[in-house]
Structure formats: structure tokens, C-alpha cells
Amino acid sequence: MALLEVKNLGISFGGLRAVNSFEISIEKEELYGLIGPNGAGKTTVFNLLTGVYQPDAGKIILDGTDITGRKTTEINRAGIARTFQNIRLFKQMSVLDNVKVGLHNKHPYSTIEGILRLPGYRKVEREMDEQAMELLKVFDLEKYAQTTASNLPYGQQRRLEIARAMATEPKLLLLDEPAAGMNPNETGELMDMIRFVREKFHVTVLLIEHDMKLVSGICERLTVLNFGEVLCQGATSDVLNDPQVITAYLGE
């Protein structure tokens, strides 16, 4: 059974059909790419998958469970985490505290315990500190634990955003243009990190990306979106050599 099954997904804004009859099937631990021209509807698909938008048609099945129409927090608890094209860290918080934000769904405590700093709260905070530091070590960020997030270099901020997403223990990680703004060396390091995350955490990865070197280097299969509809799907090399894709996406 596929980890993610999306059938006939659609949404309209006013009179515009932004996504129409979108379908995708992604296997467990697969590295999958969603590509297409600017304005094709890729981020809209991510917003539908994560509950930011509510679809007016279709189904989203995650690991056998229908999550269509659920709230963002419920979808995150079900097992989907994401990063954004424009990095969305808590810039004035420490690197450690940014990761701890991702752990809160797994470590609940009452408001009263937090306000009064009762033993239950202190125990949870210790556990979160330990788990956050372990994640920072995995992502080679432990030496920056007390650094304000805004003071990290750009590539490290990307790394921190992925670490925070992984703190929620997702089954499916959505990466929205993770290589945006990166130089070739940083992009190469990012490719290695995405492979590492998949292998270390046994997580499935779906990414939006315009960098074809990254896409062809790590994605096993692709879906091409054009004007809100699926243009082509299949193995990466087959899709990138498809005449329709070359015409619509690569402009040749």
C-alpha cells in the first residue's frame, strides 16, 4: 500500500480552477518530485495536503487513513510535516527552542503546569531539551544550540527548518523549493542531507524544486504539474525527456 494516495483533488479560487483532478501515489520511503512552471499550482497542492486549504473535490489518504479536510495540526499529528520556500523559523528564538517547538505535539502538558512550572512541566522540558539536542546532533547543528536562529548562515537555517519538521516525527516530509537561494556547494550538501534524512528516519519525501540538477540527482519519480493539472508522471529520466515536459516546462 502506498503511503500517500491522492485522488481527483481540486480547488477553485473565485472563477479560477487552481488545481484540477490532481492525482499522485507515493510509496513508503520514496524520494518524489513535484515540478512545473511558476504558477502551475505546486504550492497550492502542498497547501491542500497540509490543511491550509480545504479541497472542493477529491480525497487525500495517508497510510490508509483519510485525512481530507482535516485541520493543519491534525494533519501534522497524522504524519505530514513541511518546510517552506521562504524559510519560516522563529528568528528571534534559539536554535534549540526552534526544534523544541516541533516537539510540543508529542509532549503535552497543561497550561497550569506550565505557568506554575510544576514537576510535570519540568520533566517534559528536560525530555524535550534532550530530544532536541539529539536532533541537532543528527543535523550537525548542536554547536549552534543557543544561537539565535536569525544569526545562522542561510544554508544552516534551511537545515534547522528540516530538523524542526523532523521533530514532529512525520511519515511524509514536504519540502517546498529547499534549494532556493543556495549556491551549488550548498545545493550539493542539501542533496546529501535529503538522502540522509530518508535513510536515517525512514521517511518519505515529496519535494517541489526548480533546480533540475537536484531533481534529477535525488528524485526517483516525478509528477509534472501545468496549469493546475497533471501533465506527466513516471520515472525521473522518462519524465524529463518527455516532449510535452520539455515544451511546457523547459521551454525548448
> Which helix (DSSP H) or strand (DSSP E) does residue 42 occupy?
helix 42-49
Phi, psi of 93 (to 5 degrees): -95, 160
d(CA 166, CA 226): 30
Contact of 99 with 164, CB cutoff 8 Å: yes
CATH 3.40.50.300 fits 1-79+170-252, yes or no: yes
Q: Would you say residue 132 has pLDDT above 80?
A: yes
Written as nine digits, the cell of 159 is 537545515
Domain edges within the chain = 1-79+170-252, 90-164
Where residue 125 falls among pLDDT bands split at 50, 70, 90?
confident
Where residue 250 falls among pLDDT bands split at 50, 70, 90?
low
Q: Would you say residue 228 has pLDDT above 90?
A: yes
Written as nine digits, the cell of 236 is 525521473
d(CA 51, CA 49): 6
Written as nine digits, the cell of 64 is 490508509
pLDDT in tens, 50-85: 999 999 999 999 999 999 999 999 999 999 999 988
Q: What is the arithmetic mean of pLDDT over 159-174?
A: 94
In degrees, rounded to 5, the angle at the alpha carbon of residue 54 between the alpha carbons of residues 53 and 59 is: 125
Q: Note the pLDDT of residue 39.
A: 87
pLDDT in tens, 193-215: 999 999 999 999 999 998 989 99
Q: Note the pLDDT of residue 226.
A: 92
Percentage of residues of the chain with pLDDT beyond 90: 73
Average per-residue pLDDT for the chain: 90
Q: Note the pLDDT of residue 126.
A: 82
- How remote is the C-alpha of 57 from its chain's centroid? 23
Q: Note the pLDDT of residue 128.
A: 84
pLDDT in tens, 86-111: 888 888 999 999 999 888 766 555 44
Written as nine digits, the cell of 238 is 522518462
The better pLDDT of the pair 88, 172 is held by 172
pLDDT in tens, 136-166: 999 999 999 999 999 999 889 999 999 999 9
Q: Note the pLDDT of residue 230.
A: 96
Q: Would you say residue 247 has pLDDT above 90?
A: no
* Predicted structure pTM score: 0.89
Q: Would you say residue 118 has pLDDT above 60?
A: no
Q: What is the DSSP letter of 249?
A: I
231 burial (CB, 10 Å; 0-12 / 13-18 / 19+) is: buried
The better pLDDT of the pair 46, 154 is held by 46
Q: Note the pLDDT of residue 252.
A: 52
- For 195-213, give the DSSP string: HHHHHHHT-EEEEE---HH
Q: Note the pLDDT of residue 105.
A: 64
